[in-house]
Structure 1
């Protein structure tokens, strides 16, 4: 009989052979999630003209309508994922949100498009929490940040390719056809994931695998997370960062069209591809740096790393919205996203490393619940509402000033990442002191 602290032989050989494929397919699912989620951004000006909508209404469609159902259903789906086959949940969810993305192309008014976006939110609720849990099971703590950062490529690359494909297709065939083109391929990927991805043993890559077969309750997930002060600061920093990011991303194409005079094709064929490369570099590099810092100093150093990167990126982002020359503005935009997008995979890894093994999907869902209700739900809506409020005074430039004001929230997020690092470092020191006391 195998010792509980060692992997059974079959599982030890399973991990290196299959985990790379699993990570790749889960990243593709996340990629499709963000293509479908962010497609409205590049189509926004066309939809506004066709359906006669305001910036605030687009903010609701791009954020609140999606977030309420995405975040609200994430908890029960994660509860199920901590008890059943996570791969099947991900595949089914992908099929649902892909179908509803395509259905959005049939909308004839605000309410019909709202219903389609609600359906996308319902489907995507089943993707991230079980994916986080699977990746944490397949990769040990000193490789987890790199794995999560690769997974997080789905965010930047999905948004970029959604912009590229959506912008080109909408230019020649209209925004409705773009919704079909973006949504329908996800149905094929759902079938591949269902057939190919294996369900790993829980806690597979942790030093000690919990042998307790008891299934924790949903209340245990909330209790354990809210009792962990470092985790609470990570969730707060993540939520504030996401609120700013969602708000700015939702209106970035509109800002570039209104203030810089770009066309959809300019954004799709010039800005988005370059942005995709920068986001990929930022994600992979930040994951590797974080893993190296973990091996040298401990996991707490990852939180300090995010705080430093965000501090560097803040003045660069301000420059984007104060630039009057489009060339300078886009240059600062590329520099800013190099630092501002380096937080996602690292944060996911830190939260999964703090979570109890049997509650990883639940912790991920709680994190995403708070993040999406506040970050995604409020970010685009507040930017759009502020833009509408400033329009009488600033006209077409109202969006520029709205986005500048929103960027100013960033120091609040930096504080939470710094504080999480302090608490994680203190916990590591206490653990090391207790260990030394045992041997002395």
Structure 2
């Protein structure tokens, strides 16, 4: 009998070793996701330098940050997710990490908009194979009552990556140039891929749900997975809400640091350090608290998995607008502490609901389907749309100052060297104020997103058994 149940003196050691392996895997996945977002978001820090160097518009800058990345990221997300349901997920992530890191470094060699666009497409191709298998791995290591917290820890890679990208990218751009910054932030990912391949181990599918037998069955089809997820009214509205949050977050995030450079004439290193540390810390804390609080409150009523993000977004909206309309850059950056705490609280509960709803064999595909919607609209269109709004607001401001076409009069957003003092001032003021006004207008979409989370909360109260 002792051979079946195990030696009681040995069992704690076995459990401790298993916990250690889980923590090691989670830390490695967090580092990979951090690399993911450093390479994905680095253009937000380098944007102004790239715009001046390549003489492009804000709409084109938005395309580089958004559609160039999101187009193939979403297109390949589902095929790679389906592949990860069948193959070793650790190896798949390692290969994809190598690809996107190398392509990020290659961005530094681009000589025009088209070349940089193609390199960003390559980054998106590689990163398509990261999150679906990573979410699947985490869900096989952590049970339903810990899953939102574990996914929130993994998702700290978002603010952490943005922070590292802002600090390192700003310093490298100011002391060298934006091309060097691309190479330096890209290449370490190749080493991380090798470490992950050597250290990480593939867990048994479905083990955290005690459904190993079911996990050995053939994965459900894409259509079956989509109907299972989006046929649930609560998750349908959560997806819309998360998509709108991504639309605003990626859109305004692309131009947030650009705004501070244009409005306050800050150096890249100074801004990167201040913006990255303050924004990154608050977003990281908000991400973790969102997962922990939703798991805690969700034990009492599942609607809190949707109510918590809704309330957070309603607080974040006016807090962001207040920060972007300050006259002091230092005060404005410090004000970013508050909205970051509440904005990113949506990540943990949103992902927790998705993976608690999905079965073990559909989790990678479920993640890919979810991010196809969120990233194609949020990341693919959000930065471009925000860039168009800023271009429109800038032109309106420029015309109001008595000048003509902004793009032709101010190539790259700045006046030509032989321009008059009046034109120089007009280019600067129109660019700064137009960027601020465009960002404020787009931020209001957060309220629309919050409404869908509130609707989802109502449905979660009615269909509790279908969510957890």
TM-score band w.r.t. shorter chain? over 0.9
Given that 2:252 and 2:439 are in contact with CA atoms closer than 8 Å, whether structure 1 keeps it comes out as yes
Given that 2:85 and 2:361 are in contact with CA atoms closer than 8 Å, whether structure 1 keeps it comes out as yes
Aligned residue in 1 for 2:436: 400
**In structure 2, what is the Cα distance between the partners aligned to 1:12 and 1:369?**
37
1:344 counterpart SS class:
helix
**In structure 1, what is the Cα distance between the partners aligned to 2:201 and 2:437?**
48
**In structure 2, what is the Cα distance between the partners aligned to 1:176 and 1:263?**
17
Aligned residue in 1 for 2:64: 61
Given that 2:291 and 2:347 are in contact with CA atoms closer than 8 Å, whether structure 1 keeps it comes out as no
**Residue 214 (structure 1) aligned with residue 218 (structure 2):** yes
Aligned residue in 1 for 2:460: 424
Given that 1:15 and 1:138 are in contact with CA atoms closer than 8 Å, whether structure 2 keeps it comes out as no
Aligned residue in 1 for 2:312: 309
**Residue 96 (structure 1) aligned with residue 99 (structure 2):** yes
**Cα 1:423/1:2, change in 2 over 3 Å:** farther
Aligned residue in 2 for 1:85: 88
Aligned residue in 2 for 1:285: 289
The structure 2 residue matched to 1:37, chosen from 24, 27, 40, is 40
> What is the 5 A alignment of 1:240-389?
240-295=244-299, 297-389=300-392
What is the CA-CA distance between 1:226 and the residue it aligns to?
2.6
**Cα 1:45/1:86, change in 2 over 3 Å:** same
- In structure 2, the gaps of 5 or more residues are 6-10, 398-429
Aligned residue in 2 for 1:139: 142
Aligned residue in 1 for 2:445: 409
**Cα 1:342/1:67, change in 2 over 3 Å:** same
What is the CA-CA distance between 1:234 and the residue it aligns to?
1.4
2:208 counterpart SS class:
coil
What is the CA-CA distance between 1:11 and the residue it aligns to?
9.1
The RMSD of aligned alpha carbons is 2.1
**In structure 2, what is the Cα distance between the partners aligned to 1:61 and 1:430?**
40
**TM-score, with structure 1 as normaliser:** 0.92
> What is the 5 A alignment of 1:140-155?
140-155=143-158
**Cα 1:134/1:298, change in 2 over 3 Å:** farther
What is the CA-CA distance between 1:210 and the residue it aligns to?
4.6
**Residue 230 (structure 1) aligned with residue 234 (structure 2):** yes
**In structure 2, what is the Cα distance between the partners aligned to 1:123 and 1:103?**
13
What is the CA-CA distance between 1:378 and the residue it aligns to?
0.8
What is the CA-CA distance between 1:19 and the residue it aligns to?
0.7
> What is the 5 A alignment of 1:74-223?
74-211=77-214, 213-223=217-227
Given that 2:460 and 2:467 are in contact with CA atoms closer than 8 Å, whether structure 1 keeps it comes out as no
What is the CA-CA distance between 1:308 and the residue it aligns to?
1.2
Given that 1:136 and 1:349 are in contact with CA atoms closer than 8 Å, whether structure 2 keeps it comes out as no
**In structure 2, what is the Cα distance between the partners aligned to 1:2 and 1:108?**
66
Map Cα deviations across residues 103-133 of structure 1 (whole Å, 9 max, x no partner): 0000001111011000000000000011111
Given that 1:299 and 1:350 are in contact with CA atoms closer than 8 Å, whether structure 2 keeps it comes out as no
**TM-score, with structure 2 as normaliser:** 0.87
Q: Where has structure 1 moved over 4 Å in runs of 4 or more? A: 9-14, 207-210, 429-432
Map Cα deviations across residues 28-73 of structure 1 (whole Å, 9 max, x no partner): 1100000001111111111111111111111000001100100110
**In structure 2, what is the Cα distance between the partners aligned to 1:280 and 1:268?**
17
Q: Which has the larger radius of gyration?
A: 2
**In structure 2, what is the Cα distance between the partners aligned to 1:105 and 1:210?**
48
What is the CA-CA distance between 1:208 and the residue it aligns to?
4.3
Given that 2:174 and 2:267 are in contact with CA atoms closer than 8 Å, whether structure 1 keeps it comes out as no
Given that 1:225 and 1:232 are in contact with CA atoms closer than 8 Å, whether structure 2 keeps it comes out as yes
**In structure 2, what is the Cα distance between the partners aligned to 1:431 and 1:145?**
13
**In structure 2, what is the Cα distance between the partners aligned to 1:147 and 1:280?**
13
Map Cα deviations across residues 164-188 of structure 1 (whole Å, 9 max, x no partner): 0111011111111100100000000
Map Cα deviations across residues 318-376 of structure 1 (whole Å, 9 max, x no partner): 21233233244223222111211111122111111111221001110001000111000
2:463 counterpart SS class:
helix
2:219 counterpart SS class:
coil
